[in-house]
Chains A and B, each alone.
Chain A
C-alpha cells in the first residue's frame, strides 16, 4: 500500500517533463530551432559577402538613396554649380555667367522671343504655383506611406522578433527554474513514506494501551458485578428470614391492635 501511495505522486514527473518539452517547442515564434539556425547562417554568409574584409568600403561605400534632392538656389539651379564657380570667379561669378549667357542667347537670336513665349512663362508659373501649393501635402503623404511601410515590413517585425525571442528566453528560464520543483516532489514523497510509518507506529502504541485498559476494565466490571450480586442476595435473604419469623399469633395481635387504634381515632373524631 505504501509503495502504491508513494508512487501515485509519480504522475507528477512525466507532466513536469512534458511541460518543459512544450515550452521548448514554442521557442522563437513560428520558427523551429533549425529554421532559426538556417536564417542565422544565411545572414552570416550575406554579411560576409557584402560587408566582409574584401569589401573596399572607402572607394565603394554602400550606395544610399538620399531622402531629399541636393540643395538648389533660386528655386532650380543646383548649389554645386555655384560652388564650382566660387573657387574660380568669386561670389558674383555664377550670376554674371548666367546673365551673360542669357544676354548672348537673346542678342544673337539663338533664343528667339516669338508669339509662343507666353506659353513658356505660363507653364513655369503654373508649375511653380502647383509645386508650392500641392508639394508639401504630397510630400507628407508619401512620407507617411514610407513610414507605415517601414513600420510594417521592417521595424515592426524587427521589434516583434526581438520581443518574442526575449519572452521565450524568459519562459524557458522559468521552466528550467521550475525543474527544481522535482527536488521538493521527491523529498515530499520520501517524507510521506516516513509519515505513514510513524502513523502506523503510533497506532500500534494506542492499540497496546487500549488492550491493557480493556482487560483491566473487564476485570473491574467482573468484580463489581459479583459484589453487586452478593449484596442483592444478602438483602433478599435477610428480608425473607424476617418475614418467615413472624408467627400467626403475632399477626393476629397486631391486627387487633390496629382495630383498637382505629376505634380510638373514630371516637376522637366524633367528639
Chain B
C-alpha cells in the first residue's frame, strides 16, 4: 500500500466540462464515462479485507486446528498492492509535457492574433473622417481597391467580371 489509495475521482469535472470545446463534447462524454466506470468497479469490492465469522466456523467444523490455522494465516496475510508496471503515469506525464509545449506555442500565436486584431481596431479610429477624403487619399489609404491604371491596368468594361480571372457575372463592381 505504498501509493495513495483513491476511492473517488478528485478531478473537478464541472470546470473540465466547461472548458471542453463544443465540438468535442462527445469525446469528453466518452472519456468521463470511462473514468466513472473505473470508480464504479472499485465500489464493487470492499475496501479492506472482509471479516470472516470465525466463531461460526469453529462451532461447525470438528477437525481440530484447521480454523485456527486459517484464522492465523488470514490475519497475517499481506496482499501486494499492484504496481504500475508499464509506467503509464510517466507516459502520461511525458504526453502532458508535449501537449503543454504545443499549447504554449498555440497560445502565443493566438495572443499575437489578438494583438493584431486590437491594433486593427485602434487603427480604424485613426482613419481621417470621410469628408476629408480626396481621390488621392483613397489611392494612398486603400491601394488595393483604388484604380491604378499604371500598375494594374484593367480591360474595358472595367467590371470585375470582365477582368482576367473574373468569375461572377452578376458582380457589378
Q: Can you list 7 A-B contacts (CB < 8 A)? A: A6-B88, A46-B140, A168-B117, A186-B99, A197-B83, A204-B79, A223-B60
Stretch of B122-130, B149-157, B163-171 with 4 or more beta carbons under 8 angstroms from chain A:
B122-130
For A37, list chain B residues within 8 Å (CB): 116
Q: Which of B6, B48, B57, B118 contacts A205 (CB 8 A)?
A: B48
Closest to B80 in A: A204
CB distance from B53 to the nearest CB of A (A): 9
5 further A-B pairs in the complex, CB-CB below 8 A; given A27-B113, A27-B116, A43-B141: A23-B110, A42-B142, A202-B44, A206-B46, A219-B66
B9 touching A188 by the CB < 8 A rule?
yes
Q: Is A200 an interface residue (CB 8 A)?
A: yes
A213 to B100, CA, bound (A): 51
A168 to B83, CA, bound (A): 48
Q: Which of A49, A168, A203 contacts B140 (CB 8 A)?
A: A49
CB distance from A253 to the nearest CB of B (A): 47
A191 to B38, CA, bound (A): 10
Chain B CB count within 10 A is highest, among A47, A173, A181, for A181
A20 touching B96 by the CB < 8 A rule?
no
Q: Is A52 an interface residue (CB 8 A)?
A: no
Closest to A204 in B: B79
A202 touching B6 by the CB < 8 A rule?
no
A192 touching B38 by the CB < 8 A rule?
yes
Q: Which of B57, B131, B142 contacts A220 (CB 8 A)?
A: B57
Closest to A5 in B: B34
CB distance from B67 to the nearest CB of A (A): 7
For B67, list chain A residues within 8 Å (CB): 216
A27 touching B117 by the CB < 8 A rule?
yes
Number of A positions contacting B (CB below 8 A) = 91
B116 touching A28 by the CB < 8 A rule?
yes
Given contacts A24-B110, A166-B121, A206-B45, contact A192 B19 (CB under 8 A): no
User: Which 9 interchain pairs have the tightest Cβ spacing?
Assistant: A181-B19, A202-B45, A184-B16, A195-B38, A3-B86, A186-B96, A46-B140, A165-B117, A3-B88
Closest to A200 in B: B82
Q: Is A64 an interface residue (CB 8 A)?
A: yes
Given contacts A33-B116, A201-B82, contact A161 B46 (CB under 8 A): no
In residues 155-189 of chain A, which contact B (Cβ within 8 Å)? 158, 161-162, 165-166, 168-169, 172-173, 175-182, 184-189
In residues 56-114 of chain B, which contact A (Cβ within 8 Å)? 57, 60-63, 66-67, 70, 73-74, 77, 79-84, 86-89, 91-93, 95-96, 98-100, 102-103, 106-107, 109-114
A201 to B96, CA, bound (A): 27
Given contacts A6-B91, A219-B66, A220-B60, contact A43 B126 (CB under 8 A): yes
For A20, list chain B residues within 8 Å (CB): 103, 106-107, 110
Given contacts A198-B7, A219-B66, contact A193 B92 (CB under 8 A): yes
B19 touching A180 by the CB < 8 A rule?
yes
A190 to B91, CA, bound (A): 10
B81 touching A188 by the CB < 8 A rule?
no
Q: Is A75 an interface residue (CB 8 A)?
A: no
B128 touching A165 by the CB < 8 A rule?
no
B117 touching A169 by the CB < 8 A rule?
yes
Q: Is A258 an interface residue (CB 8 A)?
A: no
CB distance from A236 to the nearest CB of B (A): 23
For B112, list chain A residues within 8 Å (CB): 33
Q: Is A266 an interface residue (CB 8 A)?
A: no
CB distance from A222 to the nearest CB of B (A): 9
B42 touching A202 by the CB < 8 A rule?
yes
Q: Is B172 an interface residue (CB 8 A)?
A: no
Closest to B15 in A: A184
Per-position binary interface string of chain A over residues 1-41, scored 1 when its CB falls under 8 Å from any chain B CB and 0 otherwise: 01101111111110111011101100110000100110110
CB distance from A21 to the nearest CB of B (A): 7
